[in-house]
Amino acid sequence: MVPSPRAWFHGPARFPALAIGAGFLAAVLPIGLLAWFSLTAAETPLRGEIEAHSLSEARGIAVSLESMFQEHAILLQSNAVRPRFLQAIKGGDRAEVHRRLEAISALDPHIEGLFLATAEGKLWANHPETPEAWGRDVSDLPAFKGVIEKGGPHVSEVHERRVGAPDFVWAVAVPVRDDGRILSVLGMLGTVEGLGAMLESLRPGTAHLYIVDQKGRIAYHSGKPAVGLAVDVSSVSPVREVLAGREGVIEHENPLEKDDPRRISAFAPVRGFGWGVVVETPVEKAFAPIRRLRLLVTVVSIILAALLGGGSALAARSYVRRWILFDAARGKAAELEEIVLARASRLKTMSAMSQALLACRTVECAADLVCRVVANEIGFRMAWVGLADETTFDVRPVAECGYEEGYLASVKVRWDETPEGMGPTGTAVRTGQPVIWSRILDDPRYAAWREAARLRGYRSSGRFLSSSKIRR
């Protein structure tokens, strides 16, 4: 005979009924609450991961922009000191100047145009040529003013183009000197559209990226079209911070964003040039998946608890969950231990290298030590040290380490203005500045060494001087 529902709560059957009810509640409540609070607590490490990733993205893009500006400045400086170019300017040979501007433009796909202005601020030549603009006063252009005020290279803020199609441009300019005085100003223009095309490959997948100039105006925004930018955002919190030269991460209300204005913003300055990078993640979008998952897990947990029932199911689930959490924590501890040991090993290696360098008595000994540390400890594919000969203009290798495989014997490196002297090594020696070319297999300036580098898997090249004595 099947007992009536009322019989479950009266008479001798009431204790089993209460036990089943208590087991049901004991299964539903802990599982539901555990799922809710676990996912709520998961927002904290997720936030930390978002902040760390965004800051890493901002730093990486800032370094890329810094490298690009440096390369532009070095390219212009290396041409500004050419004797033939100086002679053409002083002699009024506009045809020769235009040939040089055309040659510079062919070396860098990011160059939209070039200009040469007199020290008094009159446009004297440009590429592409617009003769009707020659003689126009450009003394109020940001790039020209920056060079005259600083007496050195300058990257301008975003401004409207004066000659040609109406759009927004930025400029890099350097002084052309004759006997120490500024003879003229040589500059290049880049468009906001061109900057956006370059940055498109670097931008984070789900975050918003924007670049600001020295005055806090947008030079690029991943969520907005290029035309019509140059909007002043200097009042926005992360922009104020990055214009002050600081980097970091903040959560704030962005008044320029109408939909989902609450943002997690990472920012990093483009050091030496006054620009800044901001990577933003909408808070609602960032945490929406985990909040939806929290609701789903809660509902599913209740259904599972109702189906399973009883204290045994709860005990089993609790045991498995605790074991998983313990195993994950143990794995994380092991990972952290490996990181600490690796850093300690690196510090020990650098300390040993410093002591060994102090014991060196020859250039060859010190060069060999540096090459071994750069290749074996830091992890570069190959490192070499060379000496620049002031008589023959050759750069003679004295030490190397890593995957060299006959590379140095197969190439010729010089530091004069011959084709073998126009690579990163020759440029670094002549200018006295570090040179980094990040894509040598695609760079036309690296044609003389490209095949040898490709065969050995080299993809980028950096040159750093230990002395600035040799310059031309």
pLDDT over threshold 80, residue 284: no
Hunting for tokens 């290696």 — which residue is that? 349
**Residues of the chain above pLDDT 90, percent:** 35
pLDDT over threshold 80, residue 91: yes
Lowest mean pLDDT among 41-55, 160-174, 316-330: 316-330
Which sequence spans correspond to the domains of the chain? 19-308, 363-463
Q: What is the mean pLDDT of residues 291-310?
A: 60
Contacts 24+ apart (CB under 8 A), 361-367: 363/387, 363/398, 364/398, 364/399, 367/398, 367/399
228-271 tens-digit pLDDT: 467 888 999 999 999 999 999 999 888 777 777 788 899 999 99
Counting beta carbons within 10 angstroms of the beta carbon of residue 118, is it exposed (0 to 12), middle (13 to 18) or buried (19 or more)?
Answer: middle
Q: Could you tell me the two tokens for 66?
A: 């810094």
Q: Which amino acid is at 263?
A: R
pLDDT score recorded for residue 8: 41
- Calculate the dihedral angle through the C-alpha atoms of 106, 172, 118, 100, rounding to the nearest 10 degrees: -10
Position 97 confidence tier, pLDDT thresholds 50, 70, 90: very high
In the CATH scheme, what architecture does the domain 19-308 have? 2-Layer Sandwich (3.30)
Contacts of 461 (CB under 8 A, 6+ apart): 423, 424, 436, 437, 440, 446, 453
d(CA 16, CA 470): 95
Position 37 confidence tier, pLDDT thresholds 50, 70, 90: low
> 363-463: same fold as 19-308?
yes
State which fold the 363-463 domain adopts.
Beta-Lactamase (3.30.450)
386-440 tens-digit pLDDT: 999 989 999 999 999 999 999 999 999 999 989 888 999 989 899 988 999 989 9
Contacts of 307 (CB under 8 A, 6+ apart): none
pLDDT over threshold 90, residue 319: no
370-381 tens-digit pLDDT: 888 888 877 889
**pLDDT top residue among 291 and 217:** 217
pLDDT score recorded for residue 255: 77
Position 14 confidence tier, pLDDT thresholds 50, 70, 90: very low
Lowest mean pLDDT among 28-32, 177-181, 366-370: 28-32
Q: Which residues are 388's β-sheet partners?
A: 395
Give the burial string for 188-215 (b: 16+ CB within 10 Å, else e). Answer: bbbbbbbbbeebeeebbeebbbbbbbbe
d(CA 88, CA 116): 12
pTM to 2 decimal places: 0.53
Q: Could you tell me the two tokens for 182?
A: 């500024």
Residue whose C-alpha is closest to residue 93's, from 55, 124, 132: 124
pLDDT score recorded for residue 15: 46
d(CA 377, CA 399): 16
Lowest mean pLDDT among 250-254, 318-322, 442-446: 318-322
Q: Could you tell me the two tokens for 65?
A: 């922009």
pLDDT score recorded for residue 159: 83
